[in-house]
């Protein structure tokens, strides 16, 4: 069992027979009443996102999500194929299950297949991935404003903000949770 006080981003639990993941959570302390927890939740089976308020201390059943190491192979337009690294089976995955990771997914990259009670519910990438910058504006000498960024297009087609010193052709490390620049690789 998990208490609503222990909700964090990414926490998975079961409520009313639905498998839910916490997208974001906010603890609100009221003057006379107890604390209220407002959470944005994602239904892992349908993909729908909604907001829900909880009383502090409510308890829900935790769930066990199995992770299987896999490698991304290719896409045929409607399905994306992954190879289980232990059994070498090819697993087709619908594009709807990949919405959050698709911008950072390239052929040959490692991933984790998430299953719940034998049913595939999603794909998770490692915490960071290395991608090449294919298009960005050049940085100019004297452009040294602290924290300044510019858009850069990556080899997967994703566009993220990078520091001014990053050039076309650079290999960078991207945080897959927030899809933000981390460092040069």
DSSP line for 104-163: G--TT-EEEEEEETTEEEEEE--SEEEEEEEEEPPP-TT---TT-EEEEEETTS-EEEEE
Domain map (residue ranges) of the chain: 2-62, 66-124, 128-184
Region 48-68: mean pLDDT is: 88
State the pTM of this model.
0.74
**Whose CA is closest to 44, among 71, 7, 17?**
17
Residues 6+ positions from 116 with CB-CB distance below 8 Å: 19, 44, 63, 64, 65, 66
Tens digit of each residue's pLDDT (9 = 90 or more) over 144-167: 666 788 899 999 999 999 988 889
78-103 tens-digit pLDDT:
889 999 999 999 999 988 778 778 88
Mean pLDDT of 49-63: 88
Q: Is CATH 2.40.50.110 the right assignment for the domain spanning 2-62?
A: no
Is the CATH number of domain 128-184 3.40.50.10190? no
Q: Give the pLDDT confidence score for residue 141 in this predicted structure.
A: 61
Q: Which of 162, 161, 184 is nearest to 173 (CA)?
A: 184
Q: Mean pLDDT of all residues in the chain?
A: 87
Looking at residue 143, its pLDDT comes to 59
User: CATH fold of 66-124, please?
Assistant: OB fold (Dihydrolipoamide Acetyltransferase, E2P) (2.40.50)
pLDDT at 142: 60
More confident residue, 32 or 94: 94
């Amino acid at each position: 069992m998990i208490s609503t006080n222990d909700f964090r981003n990414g926490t998975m639990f079961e409520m009313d027979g639905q498998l839910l993941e916490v997208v974001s959570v906010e603890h609100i302390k009221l003057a006379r009443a107890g604390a209220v927890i407002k959470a944005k939740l994602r239904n892992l089976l349908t993909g729908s996102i909604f907001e829900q308020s909880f009383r502090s201390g409510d308890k829900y059943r935790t769930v066990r999500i199995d992770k299987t190491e896999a490698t991304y192979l290719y896409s045929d337009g409607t399905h994306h194929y992954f190879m289980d690294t232990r059994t070498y089976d090819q697993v087709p995955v619908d594009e709807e299950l990949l919405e959050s990771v698709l911008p950072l997914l390239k052929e040959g990259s490692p991933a984790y297949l998430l299953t719940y009670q034998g049913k595939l519910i999603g794909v998770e990438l490692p915490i960071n991935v290395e991608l090449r910058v294919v298009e960005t504006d050049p940085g100019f000498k004297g452009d040294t404003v602290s924290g300044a960024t510019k858009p850069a297009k990556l080899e997967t087609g994703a566009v993220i903000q990078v520091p001014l010193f990053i050039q076309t052709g650079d290999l960078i490390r991207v945080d897959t949770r927030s899809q933000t620049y981390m460092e040069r690789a």
